[in-house]
Amino acid sequence: MASILLLNGPNLNLLGQREPEVYGRDTLADIERRCRDQAERLGHELACRQSNSEGGMVDWLQQNAPGAQYLIINPGAYGHTSIALRDALLGLALPFVEVHLSNVHAREEFRRSFMLTDVAVGCISGLGAQGYLLALQFVAEQLREGR
């Protein structure tokens, strides 16, 4: 059984009510519940966290990365701006998949700049809540293959 982390960034606590035409109607609790259920079916543990604070995200990663095998992260807006989050991920050397609910490539120009994507194992964008489950399936396959 592997330990997988799921970290969500700013404003994702508002899922289901914040711009549902862009981000969908699922709440973060809905997404986390489905991910935990899938992780359990796949034989893994999943620890979830959401923070509106860049420092809170970095602190949680530093506290929980030891012993974890993989990370799934939706950095929210910090994916476009956070050198601190990038540095934390590089320093921890924890492989991760980046997830974005909306298709960031079809949105405003400022959303097309990424601080984490080039150091991620992969990135899923624009598939809504399904993107989290696809990331989890990918992670489980990577762990099964010893990657």
Active site residues: 23, 100
What CA–CA distances, in Å, run from 138 to 12, 49, 91, 120, 135? 22, 20, 23, 13, 5
Q: How far apart are CA 94 and CA 88, in angstroms?
A: 10
Residue listed under structure tokens 């549902």:
20
